[in-house]
Every structure is written in C-alpha cells, then in structure tokens.
Amino acid sequence: MYLSRFLSIHALWVTVSSVMQPYPLVWGHYDVCKTQIYTEEGKVWDYMACQPESTDMTKYLKVKLDPPDITCGDPPESFCAMGNPYMCNNECDASTPELAHPPELMFDFEGRHPSTFWQSATWKEYPKPLQVNITLSWSKTIELTDNIVITFESGRPDQMILEKSLDYGRTWQPYQYYATDCLDAFHMDPKSVKDLSQHTVLEIICTEEYSTGYTTNSKIIHFEIKDRFAFFAGPRLRNMASLYGQLDTTKKLRDFFTVTDLRIRLLRPAVGEIFVDELHLARYFYAISDIKVRGRCKCNLHATVCVYDNSKLTCECEHNTTGPDCGKCKKNYQGRPWSPGSYLPIPKGTANTCIPSISSIGNPPKFNRIWPNISSLEVSNPKQVAPKLALSTVSSVQVANHKRANVCDNELLHCQNGGTCHNNVRCLCPAAYTGILCEKLRCEEAGSCSSDSSQGAPPQGSPALLLLTALLGTANPLLF
C-alpha cells in the first residue's frame, strides 16, 4: 500500500513539474565575455561569445499611435459593455483618471481589479474604416526570445497585421497577418505555424487562429517565436546547440528575430457577424490591456550588459568593440575587420575579439606584423594570447618592483611596437626592436641605424632584460 501511494505521489510530481516547466531557459548560455584561467605558464584571459539576459522589453519602449487622437475620451463618449454589446452605458473620459484609457495602460502591471487597458474611439464614423497603427520603438536593435503576446480587452480584431522594422521605422515588412477570413482580407490561404517547417520558417503567413469576435477566453493574439525555435531545437527546446548553429550560419534567420520597431496595424474591429450593426456603432472599438515583448539588446555577442540611460539602451561592449550594438572595433583596435561573435563552438562560442592596429603600436619600415587569431582562446593552447584593451606604459619603478606590477600584461598592452607579453614576465619583441618593453630600435643600441636598417638581427636579449627575467623567474607565480 505504501509503495503504491509513493509511486502515485511520484507520478503526480513528475506531471506537475512537466506542466510548470514546459520549456527550459531558452537563452541561458553566453553570460560571460571573458574569464581568467590558470595554465602551466600562468594566468591568461579566455575570451568567449556573450550576450545580455533576456528580459521584458516593454519597460524600455516608446509607443506612438496613428492617428494620434484615436484614443477615446476626448471628447467623452459612451461605449458598450464587453460581455453584453447592447449595454452601452460605460463611459470613457480622458479628463477623469478612473475613466481614462491612455496608451501606457497597454504596458502596466496586470492583475488589479478592474483591469486597466487602452481603448480607441468607437466606430462612430462608419462606414469610414476604423484603423489604428500602434508603433513600439526601442531606438535600439533587439533580438526577440519569446512569443509576442497581445491581450485584447475587447474582442480580437477581425483584421490585423503585425509588422517589424530593422531600420528604426524607415521601412516596414510584415511579420504575420491575422483575420477571420484570410482569403477575403488579404488574398492569402490561412495557415498556422504548425504548417511550417525548417525550410519555410521564414514564410509570412495569414492565420485565422486568433481572430474570433466576442467569445469567452478569446482575447489573446500570439506571434509564435518559440514554435519557430522548436523547428531547430526540438519541441521542448532541448537541443539549443542546433538552433545556435542555425542562427550562426543563416543570417536571414537571425535577422528574422531581430527588430528595432514593431507595428500593430488594427484594420477592422471585432464585428462578430457578417454585417456591421449601424444602429449600435458604440459596440465596435479596439481595447488592449497588455502587450508582452521579451527579448534582449542585440550586442553582436560582444556584451552581457545593456544599460538604460537617458531613455536609451546601449550595450556595454567588451572584446575591444564599440557602438550601440558593439558593431565596430574601437579606435586603435582595427588590426583586422570587425566581426560579430559566434555561438559556435558550443558552449563558449567564439569571441572574434578586435585586435590592435599595427599603426597604433608602431610599425617599423618593411616590418610586417601578423597578429595571431584571438577570437577564442583554447585552454589546451594557452600561448595563443594577444594584446587587448587600451595602450598603456609602465614606469621604470613599476618594472623594477615586480611585487607591485607585472613586467607586462596583454590586457594593458605594456609591450610596445608590436611586442607580445609572455607569461607576464617578458615581452617578445619584433626583430627590429629590443628593450624590456620593446621600446628601442635594435640598430640604435648598436649605433648603426640607417634608412634601411629596420630589419635587425634576431633579438639577443639585453642584459637588463636577462637580469629582470632571472629575478622574476624565482618569484611565486601567484604574484602575477
């Protein structure tokens, strides 16, 4: 008896757990841009692809309505109740807070009673179309990570288009069409996302699934992001590596989930019947109680933090990148063309770090420095470390006292003229340069500099460098 009871409880727990957590955390990786690791040769930086956490993006948007005076309440007007369209004694009055329905109520916290919502004017000018454009703008490129959900307080519209922009509203393209009759409204055959596949996931469809009129529990419209992810990651999004690989290799797929603006085009309110009841036009209007848009700042896999300051979102760029989307290399870090980070290889990805420009660190005549590829530092090969961050110099006092400062540091770029730091102990200089920090021409030391003498002999190590290396070699490596 006890065993059967235990098994019953266990089965119930498994069922409840699966219901409560239908999906894993979709974007739970790539939350660190770099970390210090210890190798046999000391501390080195390990760079990784990184991105901000997914969050509620409605906290950062600006909303615009067109026409701008379409919100109800100015002048005050009556409208019909949601449940009974023939009880038309409700009032919208913009001058009275309790009776006003401004646009910001589309994004406030729900759960209060009575519920709050934005509402348009009624269809009092019928047969002129009652149409509204609701534009959501971020002034920043964002990546969608979950379904867009629109909750209507009135019936869902008979006709609606969800549109997106990738250029801050200059041009628009459809995301999805919604209608009670797709063929009549948009000359398109009705489809649902379930009719798509990996090969047709970018197809723009018209769906009749969300466009019924006044019926119980029919207030929500979805734009299905997760269902599209599932074509690559599996029905419960277990195989995210497959999705990451597709996002990496198919630019159109990544762009599909990327927006700067969204536009909800409400073209025809819920009528619920074939004909409009011209005697009760106060039945027809739009009312939205909630809009959910979940995503993250697009930082091209070069940042984990996106700050909101002065009503503007900006990535805090790593990997020597800069710009609102970390879309270019910093000044003096253009040693190779900028590239976005890569999700591959799983799980750390590839950072594609910007590297110093040759001109910014000194380029002797006829000397061609080839920088190593530091897009992703492998633990198995800790020697593949290259300079990062801003140029810096170190005083002779700091160099002399190894307890206060390392001789060199790839992050601070102490080594000059193209030199690279080896294990924080010494600079490996180009053939034409010498000195503890590669600060001197080798020909100057020999007193033989001329216009064509920049290609010096292989470095032999100055006495000062040899002495310093010997001193530091006996130090505890943890000091570095």
**In terms of pLDDT, which residue wins out, 464 or 441?**
441
- Whether the pTM exceeds 0.75: the reply is no
Dist CA 307 CA 315 (whole Å): 6
Preceding omega of 67 cis (within 30 degrees of 0): yes
Per-residue pLDDT at 352: 95
pLDDT-above-90 percentage for the chain: 50
Is residue 406 very low, low, confident or very high in pLDDT (cuts 50, 70, 90)?
low
Dist CA 474 CA 454 (whole Å): 35
Dist CA 106 CA 119 (whole Å): 9
Preceding omega of 365 cis (within 30 degrees of 0): no
Is residue 239 very low, low, confident or very high in pLDDT (cuts 50, 70, 90)?
confident
Across the range 428-447, mean pLDDT stands at 78
Across the range 1-13, mean pLDDT stands at 51
Per-residue pLDDT at 442: 81
Per-residue pLDDT at 217: 52
Per-residue pLDDT at 438: 80
Dist CA 113 CA 104 (whole Å): 17
Q: Is residue 95 over pLDDT 60?
A: yes
- DSSP states along 245-272: HHHHH-HHHHHHTEEEEEEEEEEE----
Distance from chain centroid for Cα 182: 33
Dist CA 351 CA 342 (whole Å): 7
Contacts of residue 161, Cβ cutoff 8 Å, sequence gap at least 6: 174, 176, 177, 178, 264, 265, 267
Q: Which of 27-31, 224-228, 419-423 has the highest mean pLDDT?
A: 224-228
Segment 129-181, tens digit of pLDDT:
999 999 999 999 999 999 999 999 888 999 999 999 999 999 999 999 999 99
Q: Is residue 9 over pLDDT 70?
A: no
What mean pLDDT is reported for the chain?
Answer: 78
Q: Are 229 and 107 in contact (CB under 8 A)?
A: no
Segment 371-384, tens digit of pLDDT:
333 333 333 333 33
Dist CA 344 CA 330 (whole Å): 24
Burial of 241 (0-12, 13-18, 19+ CB in 10 A): middle
Across the range 191-204, mean pLDDT stands at 94
Contacts of residue 106, Cβ cutoff 8 Å, sequence gap at least 6: 63, 117, 118, 134, 288, 289, 290, 291
Across the range 31-45, mean pLDDT stands at 87
Burial of 211 (0-12, 13-18, 19+ CB in 10 A): buried
Per-residue pLDDT at 371: 37
Across the range 201-227, mean pLDDT stands at 83
Per-residue pLDDT at 27: 45
Q: Are 441 and 388 in contact (CB under 8 A)?
A: no
Q: Is residue 20 over pLDDT 80?
A: no
Q: Which of 307-321, 359-373, 444-458 has the highest mean pLDDT?
A: 307-321
- Closest among 193, 209, 139 to 167, alpha carbons compared: 139
Long-range contacts for 101-105 (Cβ within 8 Å, ≥24 apart)?
A: 101/71, 101/72, 101/73, 101/287, 102/71, 103/63, 103/65, 103/71, 103/134, 104/63, 105/289
Q: Is residue 401 over pLDDT 70?
A: no
Dist CA 253 CA 230 (whole Å): 13
Dist CA 79 CA 269 (whole Å): 14
The least confident of 84-93, 216-225, 407-416, 462-471 is 462-471
Q: Which helix (H) or strand (E) holds 173?
A: strand 173-179
Per-residue pLDDT at 467: 41
